[in-house]
């Protein structure tokens, strides 16, 4: 493993920022630390880099115990949210800075900087200054500067957080492509689920300083281990068992839907895209509902429904499905859950329940 973290803990006064965190990052992978503000993401990254001391725990980098090593001996490249470029230096000088600290020969420095300028697609900008570049270009310079000394691992702390949404989207695609070319082991901090899904090989989901779950993005989305992971990785409807019990049978004489073995305090989670809209019950269990609001979002349509017991449901359909059904606000429709996830009151995952 290129990065191994064992039982890291860090407290700032009375605030427990990191609480017994352990995980591993395989060599050559790009892994995202994902969680809300205050979940400990940046603190963990800074501890790995040596910019912060842990109260307890160990850090290994490429098999070497780095827990007590100074920053300059860890072989880590760090990219910050706000670029941290030297304003009085040209782009070439910024990228060359770490190589000059290593006292490499000038021809070698020039060759390496030229390679990196080409890699980050800024060959024609070498003599410019940071103030003459856009935000996205400056962040690419920051990445090139971090890669210049050939670090063992690359750490990125919300690298696109200061950029607008269109530039962020472009840089996410570019970063993933760049990583596939250079294969440097990377740990990437973000609170943006879409960003994490698009860029990373694996996610480490954090909450209140602890690891909730780790795994490939799509696998976590489909197999969340807790209500927090379920809710944090995308929009979801949270239903009481009493609401699930009001679903109407698909055929006359069918028994009502029952989720056996569930306590009344269990909660049922269903994604908006796992709800199907029909004009009639059509032989499947369904809730009668009314369309409260219909919002068109390009190729998708978001429906806000209200059930007979007052429960609100969010449904996501394709534009084609909405047109085919000729849906409009105020109309009555039937909604059927295709897949539900049930959690006990202890917040442990029970199982998928498909209709």
Does the pLDDT of residue 353 top 80, yes or no? no
Same domain, 241 and 226: no
Same domain, 75 and 200: yes
Q: Give this prediction's pTM.
A: 0.87
Same domain, 256 and 224: no
Same domain, 8 and 81: yes
Same domain, 153 and 121: yes
So what's the pLDDT on residue 246?
82
From 183, 216, 232, the end of a domain falls on 232
Same domain, 90 and 146: yes
So what's the pLDDT on residue 130?
93
Question: What strands lie across the sheet with 349-354, from one edge to the other?
Answer: 237-240, 267-270, 339-343, 349-354
Query: pLDDT tens across 88-129, in order?
Result: 999 999 999 989 888 889 999 999 999 999 988 899 999 999
Give the structural domain span for 80. Answer: 3-232
Query: pLDDT tens across 228-253, in order?
Result: 999 999 999 999 888 887 888 766 55
Query: pLDDT tens across 298-348, in order?
Result: 999 999 999 988 999 999 999 999 999 999 999 999 999 988 888 876 655
Same domain, 204 and 269: no
Q: With bands split at pLDDT 50, 70 and 90, how would you rate the model's confidence at 282?
A: confident
CATH number assigned to the domain comprising residue 64: 3.40.50.300
Structure tokens at 147: 């890669």
Q: Is the dihedral of CA 297, 302, 303, 304 positive or negative?
A: negative
Domain count for the chain, please give it. Answer: 2
Structure tokens at 102: 């290593």
Q: What percent of the chain has pLDDT over 90?
A: 65
How far from 22 is each of 2, 75, 77, CA to CA, in Å?
14, 21, 21
d(CA 149, CA 147): 6
């Amino acid at each position: 493993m290129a990065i191994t973290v064992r039982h890291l803990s860090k407290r700032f006064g009375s605030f427990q920022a990191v609480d017994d965190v352990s995980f591993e990052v395989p060599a050559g992978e790009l892994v995202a630390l994902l969680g809300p503000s205050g979940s400990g993401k940046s603190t963990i990254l800074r501890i790995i880099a040596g910019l912060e001391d842990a109260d307890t725990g160990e850090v290994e980098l490429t098999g070497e115990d780095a827990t007590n090593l100074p920053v300059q001996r860890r072989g880590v490249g760090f990219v910050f949210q706000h670029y941290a470029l030297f304003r009085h230096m040209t782009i070439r000088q910024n990228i060359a800075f770490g190589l000059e600290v290593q006292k490499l020969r000038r021809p070698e420095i020039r060759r390496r900087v030229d390679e990196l300028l080409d890699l980050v697609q800024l060959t024609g900008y070498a003599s410019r200054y940071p103030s003459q570049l856009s935000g996205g270009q400056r962040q690419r310079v920051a990445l090139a500067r971090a890669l210049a000394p050939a670090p063992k691992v690359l750490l990125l702390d919300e690298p696109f957080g200061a950029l607008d949404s269109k530039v962020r989207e472009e840089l996410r695609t570019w970063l993933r492509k760049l990583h596939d070319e250079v294969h440097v082991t990377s740990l990437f901090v973000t609170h943006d689920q879409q960003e994490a899904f698009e860029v990373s090989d694996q996610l480490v989901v954090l909450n209140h300083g602890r690891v909730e779950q780790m795994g490939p993005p799509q696998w976590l989305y489909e197999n969340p281990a807790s209500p927090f992971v379920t809710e944090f990785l995308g929009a979801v409807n949270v239903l009481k068992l009493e609401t699930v019990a009001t679903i109407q049978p698909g055929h006359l004489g069918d028994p009502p839907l029952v989720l056996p073995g569930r306590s009344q305090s269990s909660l049922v989670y269903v994604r908006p895209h796992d709800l199907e809209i029909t004009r009639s019950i059509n032989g499947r269990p369904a809730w009668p509902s009314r369309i409260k609001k219909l919002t068109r979002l390009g190729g998708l349509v978001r429906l806000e429904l209200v059930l007979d017991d007052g429960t609100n449901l969010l449904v996501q359909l394709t534009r084609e499905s909405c047109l085919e059904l000729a849906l409009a606000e105020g109309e009555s429709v039937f909604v059927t859950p295709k897949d539900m996830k049930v959690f006990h009151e202890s917040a442990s995952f029970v199982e998928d329940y498909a209709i």
